[in-house]
């Protein structure tokens, strides 16, 4: 690892496969949680938290993941970081299978892929100063004490804090926005290539949220970072993302470039989700009914398409087999979804309703 942070380097010498090779390839990721009960604490059911999720993240892009609570977006992030073991599936980081003898170890992957969580306070050790928290990971990776603390001070400056004022403060002496800046600095301390931001601005006031979003955008460009941006806030995801992936009850239902997804949403769930989003833009108002009712119990999800119990277009085939992600059906009314826009829905009429509602 280099001694100094490459704080303004547009290229990354660790880029092995060239810009065209995706930084992250996730295939068929699956995580089921056992539900135990009874006097013998036996497994009585299974929560299908993440079910057969596949996606790519290209170098230098931001992939936003949206969906209601319980859709599996945060579990997907934790599986990628191996904070929990997946039941099935593979993760390939810049061409190297993670946790495989022919690829890279989990610890090396974690050095290159860091995560920022929603709760800025519990992410920090209350007994460590800000500088100690940032210097901790470099120290664990063999960086000398003096150099690690100098790096911490540079990072504090980089995230908009004053090292002379904030380096020796403890978490309870900082505001929520300042703590989240420290968490971002901490995530950058090992010079990662990718950062997973799991509801990282959700707990901040709106004015502070805007400042942190601008900071993240600036860091992405100056450090050549790739982001996985998870949020329930559709406006924030649109602002930050290059591509968007919509999840429902553990599965991906639609994915594509942000403009294509937000202008021409095809899946009835995506449209209903967007219909619940307040907007002042008359071009974006839809006749779509916002989502009603709660998602079904993930212990016993509906057969076939998991959205069918809330979908106005559901037919017999929707209960028989799960729809696969595929290019949207050609519909003359549609604006023009981009070729990389994929949707998991059996019925052309369901997608056509979206095309006309948003045209």
Largest CA distance in the chain: 67
Contact call for residue 352 and ligand SF4 (CB under 6 A): no
Among 311, 331, 342, 352, binds ligand SF4 (CB under 6 A): 311
Contact call for residue 346 and ligand SF4 (CB under 6 A): yes
Question: Judged by CB under 6 A, which stretch of 85-93, 220-228, 275-283, 339-347 contacts ligand SF4?
Answer: 339-347
Q: Which is closer to ligand SF4, CB of 171 or CB of 323? A: 323
Among 29, 26, 28, residue whose Cα is nearest residue 86:
29
Cα(351)–Cα(297) distance, integer angstroms = 25
- Check: CB of residue 94 under 8 Å from CB of residue 62: no
Residue 262's CB is within 10 A of a number of other CB atoms, namely 20
Token code pair at residue 175: 């505001």
Kindly state the smallest distance separating residue 168's Cβ from ligand SF4, in Å: 55
Residue 266's CB is within 10 A of a number of other CB atoms, namely 29
Q: Which is closer to ligand SF4, CB of 117 or CB of 269? A: 269
Kindly state the smallest distance separating residue 336's Cβ from ligand SF4, in Å: 21
Kindly state the smallest distance separating residue 50's Cβ from ligand SF4, in Å: 19
For residue 141, what are the CA distances in angstroms to 4, 6, 175, 267?
14, 17, 29, 45
Cα(336)–Cα(318) distance, integer angstroms = 25
Cα(337)–Cα(309) distance, integer angstroms = 26
Cα(159)–Cα(152) distance, integer angstroms = 11
Kindly state the smallest distance separating residue 192's Cβ from ligand SF4, in Å: 37
Please state the three-class secondary structure of 121-159 as a single string.
Answer: CCCCCCCCCHHHHHHHHHHHCCCCHHHHHHHHHHHHHHC
Give, as ranges, the residues between 230 and 269 that touch ligand SF4 (CB under 6 A): 267-268
# residues near ligand SF4 by CB under 6 A: 14
Among 115, 225, 247, 305, binds ligand SF4 (CB under 6 A): 305
Cα(224)–Cα(226) distance, integer angstroms = 7
Contact call for residue 229 and ligand SF4 (CB under 6 A): no
Question: Judged by CB under 6 A, which stretch of 69-77, 165-173, 281-289, 303-311 contacts ligand SF4?
Answer: 303-311
Question: Judged by CB under 6 A, which stretch of 33-41, 134-142, 177-185, 300-308 contacts ligand SF4?
Answer: 300-308
- For 334, half-sphere exposure in the C-beta direction (CA atoms, 13 angstrom radius) is 22
Question: Judged by CB under 6 A, which stretch of 120-128, 130-138, 277-285, 301-309 contacts ligand SF4?
Answer: 301-309
Give, as ranges, the residues between 265 and 294 that touch ligand SF4 (CB under 6 A): 267-268
Question: Judged by CB under 6 A, which stretch of 20-28, 42-50, 244-252, 302-310 contacts ligand SF4?
Answer: 302-310
Q: Which is closer to ligand SF4, CB of 74 or CB of 255? A: 255
- To 10 degrees, what angle do helices 206-223 and 176-188 make? 10
Kindly state the smallest distance separating residue 344's Cβ from ligand SF4, in Å: 7
- Interface with ligand SF4 (CB under 6 A): 267-268, 305, 307-308, 311, 313-314, 318, 323, 345-347, 350
């Amino acid at each position: 690892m280099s001694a100094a942070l490459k704080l303004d380097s547009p290229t990354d010498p660790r880029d092995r496969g060239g810009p065209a090779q995706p930084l992250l390839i996730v295939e068929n990721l699956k995580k089921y949680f056992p539900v135990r009960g009874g006097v013998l604490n036996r497994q009585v059911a299974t929560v299908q938290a993440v079910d057969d999720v596949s996606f790519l993240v290209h170098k230098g892009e931001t992939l936003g993941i949206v969906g209601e609570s319980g859709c599996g977006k945060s579990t997907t992030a934790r599986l990628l970081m191996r904070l929990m073991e997946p039941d099935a599936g593979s993760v390939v980081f810049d061409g190297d299978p993670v946790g495989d003898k022919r690829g890279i170890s989990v610890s090396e992957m974690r050095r290159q892929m860091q995560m920022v969580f929603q709760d800025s306070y519990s992410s920090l050790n209350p007994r460590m100063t800000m500088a100690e928290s940032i210097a901790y990971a470099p120290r664990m990776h063999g960086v000398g004490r003096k150099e690690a603390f100098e790096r911490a001070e540079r990072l504090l400056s980089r995230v908009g804090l004053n090292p002379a004022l904030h380096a020796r403060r403890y978490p309870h002496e900082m505001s929520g926005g300042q703590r989240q800046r420290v968490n971002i600095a901490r995530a950058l301390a090992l010079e990662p290539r990718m950062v997973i931001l799991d509801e990282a601005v959700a707990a901040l006031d709106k004015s502070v949220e805007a400042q942190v979003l601008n900071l993240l955008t600036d860091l992405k460009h100056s450090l050549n970072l790739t982001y996985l941006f998870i949020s329930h806030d559709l406006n924030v995801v649109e602002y930050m993302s290059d591509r968007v992936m919509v999840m429902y009850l553990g599965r991906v239902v639609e994915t594509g470039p942000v403009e294509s997804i937000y202008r021409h949403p095809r899946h009835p769930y995506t449209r209903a989700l967007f219909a619940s989003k307040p907007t002042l833009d008359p071009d974006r108002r839809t006749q779509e009914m916002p989502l009603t009712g709660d998602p079904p119990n993930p212990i016993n999800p509906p057969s076939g398409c998991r959205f069918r119990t809330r979908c106005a277009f559901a037919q017999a085939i929707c209960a028989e087999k799960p729809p696969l992600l595929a290019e949207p059906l050609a519909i003359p009314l549609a604006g023009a979804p981009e070729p990389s826009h994929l949707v998991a829905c059996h019925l052309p009429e369901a997608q056509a309703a979206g095309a006309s509602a948003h045209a």
